[in-house]
Structure 1
Amino acid sequence: MGIKSLFGFGQARDKPVDKAADAGYSFLFGRTTSGKPVNERTAMQTTAVYACVRILAEAVASLPLHVYEYQDDGGKKLVHDHPLYYLLHDEPNPEMTSFVFRETLMSHLLIWGNAYAQIIRDGAGRVLGLYPLLPDKMDVQRDDKGNIYYVYSRNSDENPMFKEYGNIRLKAEDVLHIPGLGFDGLIGYSPIAMAKNAVGMTLACEEYGASFFANGANPGGVLEHPGVLKDPSKVRESWNSVYRGVSNAHKIAVLEEGMKYQQIGIPPEEAQFLETRKFQVNEIARLYRIPPHMVGDLDKSSFSNIEQQSLEFVKYTLDPWVIRWEQSLQRSLLLPGEKGKYFIKLNVDGLLRGDYQSRMNGYAVGRQNGWFSANDIREMENMNPIPDEEGGNLYLINGAMTKLADAGAFAKTDTGQQDAPAQENSGKRGKR
């Protein structure tokens, strides 16, 4: 049995069949070795998963998203009048802002491993709107010619652009699909499904802690009776109704008929409960490659390394997601004739900004060495530009610098030759 058939990942792309792949990874959800069922919704009930998903979803949603045009001189130009600019930067549809739309799709990507949106086009193929589609209702298939198409199972009113219920077939050009990590390049697989045992253990730890405190934050005990009880369950229920629970903690117990209460010591697994919970938080942070200090674990963080960890978060965690978004948006939204002329970019420069002193030192180096103008710096600091006639766009360089090849050119000039004897005599006088 091959690895594809073992995991149900579908057929290879070079062998078109009626069905390419689907949301079959959902079978990976379910009961775990800890005994706790894990799915996309129960996973979000853990604070670690919720925090990681929220951090990444809000980070991607808050980045400036622009459409640029390539220039003949190799530069780029921000294009405000392109139809996609307003949709991506402001409102992809009348019901959502750009932030909410991107946050929603990114949360789908982090939980299900895929993000889908319906593309509404006009007769010329230009994009008029984008509406999110739920990944657990989407099925990706391939027709007898090998072409990809999508089947959406609609049983609720989450999308106002659909008029009918049931299975709705969508052409590939009508779906924005951002896949996560997968094995066939078509379908991403859910991080939660792949790490369901780690998530299940986190859920079990939380339930264990809740049960522990529901019992008054005390371990169990034994009631000893000198005689024979006809109905032990009645005694146990009577005891629990009076003394069990946080609200009944520290009440004075009254024992009759010579009964004694013997408390059972806290077992080692209970004593290590908090350490276990802390480890599970790090497990979830590792799953999403989030620095622990960003989910509240400051044990190994300090003033000197938090800034470096934050920069590494942008470089190693956020950048791959940003590239997935950019390339998927360009592939699906730009018309064939526009792909060599325009590109879409999420700007992460704002997240890489250092503190005020570091930024000013960097600007000073760039200004003195000629690759920053005053207006370049003011733009990065969100300041209005200086008019061109006042020198706002001048590029300056230190006048004392010269090319290495010209370093000895001064000695060959007429002035240099006239001054040479005087310098020689001066040297002789200095030796006397």
Structure 2
Amino acid sequence: MFFSKHRLPSMSQTGVGGWISSLFGSTRSEAGQVVTTSSALSLTVLQNCVTLLSESVAQLPIELYERSGDDRRPAVDHPLYSVLKYEPNSWQTPFEYQEQTQLSVGLRGNSYSYIDRDSDGVVQGLYPLDHESVMVMKGPDLRPMYRVNGSEPMPQRLIHHVRWLTMNSYTGLSPIMLHANTIGHAQAIQQYAGRSFMNGTVLSGVIERPSTSPPIKDQASVDRVTDEWNNKFGGPGNTKKVALLQEGMSFKPLSMTNVDAALIEAMRLSALDIARIYKIPAHMVNELERATFDNIEQMEIQFVIYTLMPWVKRHEQAKTRDLLLPSERRQYFIEYNLAGLLRGDQASRFAAYAVGRQWGWLSINDIRRLENMPPIKNGDIYLSPLNMVDASKPLPMPPPTTKATNAQIEDVQRILS
């Protein structure tokens, strides 16, 4: 077996970290923070983004379809059907496997799984591989080959590879390494905030005495006054109590400083920067400062179309390429069902169903399938509006008028009289 010994640029090599970061999976940002997958995942907003995508993809129903003329039907008899729907391997559920796959792509830009095939090439299972143990190589036929834990290179038909945005068409870029400066900036702000709370002095207020009063030199007396104040007026149970201060003393509450306000704003902006990496709408990372919720349904649909759909297409087409034999790809295809995320609220769906039913392009069973309901007998009939005619044909002539007979006229006169 011949193959190129040149190692392709890894995801961090084509990013900002250089070749050193590709070996250790980390890089130092301009803020001085060492950015790794683990340190990035500890940021709550980044964890929110990657798990939102992985859980959204994992919960989508996946189907293996067989083409039958212009129609399609679930290929329940195909061996791959049970692998995708029920048991990808001996210890993971389909949800867990898909969640891990998307999480790996979202963090590292690549996801690798070993494809267990029998002697006929039929897929028996999918086994996830550690990202750090896989080296991508380029074969003489320009197809990728994979060295796992230093073993002999494996051909493409034995590895299921899902990749993110790529510069070399073989390995995906790592979002973490590509945006190490943004993530490192967020880590630095988080570290600064933690040290400020640990080492800083935060007071809710101070008790002031007139400058003409002699100072209290006994610290025990000062502690006694402040302790009694905290015991009597501190805590939520003492809210709205009335205090009496003597000797000209006054209580002065302390408000937020400009430094505190700037820190909060910096943390908010860094969270929005990380959300932009994954194209997550601000309200979906709990950034609700400017949220109005007037068009929340349209925002949810926009998330599905412009954020979630590209990831779903990557998984669909990678599975079709890696799991179906070349001779099967014209007959079978793999698809995720996003209809449940795009159909809107109940009132909007029912109004759309009514239009489709009345104008003849939806049957009762079509609607029931969209609502995950079983079909009913005689439910595949399509209606046709009676007031619609073919514009290419002349209008039908009205029936000719006939004169009433004498007997009919006598009957009408008798009724009226």
1:245 alignment partner in structure 2: none
For 1:209, the equivalent position in structure 2 comes to 193
Paired residue for 2:120?
124
Partner of 1:103: 99
- Report how far residue 218 of structure 1 moved: 3.2
TM-score normalised by the chain length of structure 2 = 0.77
Question: In 1, distance between residues paired with 2:103 and 2:11?
Answer: 19
Q: CA deviation at 1:322?
A: 0.9
Counterpart selection for 1:32 from 29, 34, 42: 29
Aligned residue in 2 for 1:367: 357
**Corresponding position of 2:269:** 279
Matches for 1:319-330 after TM superposition, within 5 Å: 319-330=309-320
1:384 Cα deviation after fit: 2.2
Determine which of 125, 143, 159 is the counterpart of 1:175. Answer: 159
With over 3 angstroms needed to count, the CA separation of the structure-2 counterparts of 1:338 and 1:192, relative to structure 1, is same
Counterpart Cα distance in 2 of 1:190 and 1:269: 34
> What is the percent sequence identity of the aligned residues?
36
Structure-to-structure mapping, 1:122-271, within 5 angstroms? 122-143=118-139, 146-153=142-149, 166-167=150-151, 169-218=153-202, 268-271=258-261
3-state SS of paired residue (1:393)? coil
Question: 2:182 and 2:98 mapped to 1: Cα distance?
Answer: 27
Q: Alignment partner of 1:76: what SS?
A: strand
After TM superposition, give the deviation of residue 410 of structure 1 in Å. 2.0
Contact 1:60 1:103 in 2 (8 A): yes
Query: Deviation per CA, 1:229-266, whole angstroms, max 9, x where unpaired?
Result: xxxxxxxxxxxxxxxxxxxxx99xxxxxxxxxxxxx99
Q: Does the Cα contact within 8 Å between 2:87 and 2:93 map onto a contact in 1?
A: yes
Give the 3 Å change call, closer, same or farther, for CA 217–89 of structure 1 in structure 2. Answer: farther
Q: 1:168 to 1:293 in 2, by over 3 A?
A: farther
Give the 3 Å change call, closer, same or farther, for CA 396–147 of structure 1 in structure 2. Answer: closer
Following superposition, the deviation at residue 138 of structure 1 comes to 1.2
Match of 1:230 in 2: none
Q: How many residues align?
A: 342
Contact 1:17 1:146 in 2 (8 A): no
Aligned to 1:410: 396
Q: Deviations over 1:339-367 (max 9, x none)?
A: 11000001111110211100000000010
The answer to whether the 8 A contact 2:144-2:170 is kept is no
Q: Distance in 2 between matches of 1:59 and 1:125?
A: 31
Q: Which residue of 1 is the match for residue 288 of structure 2? A: 298
Equivalent position of 2:66 in the other structure: 69
Aligned mates of 2:82, 2:358 — CA distance in 1: 37
CA distance in structure 1 between the partners assigned to 2:142 and 2:381 by the alignment: 56
Aligned mates of 1:271, 1:302 — CA distance in 2: 23
Point out where structure 2 has 5 or more consecutive residues left out of the alignment: 14-20, 204-229, 232-254, 403-417
Q: 2:39, 2:142 → 1: CA distance?
A: 37
- Residue aligned with 1:343, SS: strand
- Contact 1:18-1:144 at 8 Å conserved across structures: no
Aligned-residue Cα RMSD (Å) equals 2.3
Whole-Å separation in 1 of the counterparts to 2:192 and 2:298? 36
Larger RCO (CA within 8 A; separation ≥ 6): 2
Native 8 Å contact 1:23 1:138 kept in 2 = no
CA distance in 2 between counterparts of 1:130 and 1:99 reads: 13
For 2:137 and 2:85, the matched residues in 1 are separated by 31
Deviations 1:112-159 (A, max 9, x none): 101110000000000000011122221101245645310122xxxxxx
Residue in 1 that maps onto 2:249: none
Structure 1 counterpart of 2:396, one-letter code? F
Deviation at residue 215 of structure 1 after TM alignment: 2.4
Extract unaligned runs of 5+ from structure 1. 1-15, 154-165, 220-249, 252-264, 420-432
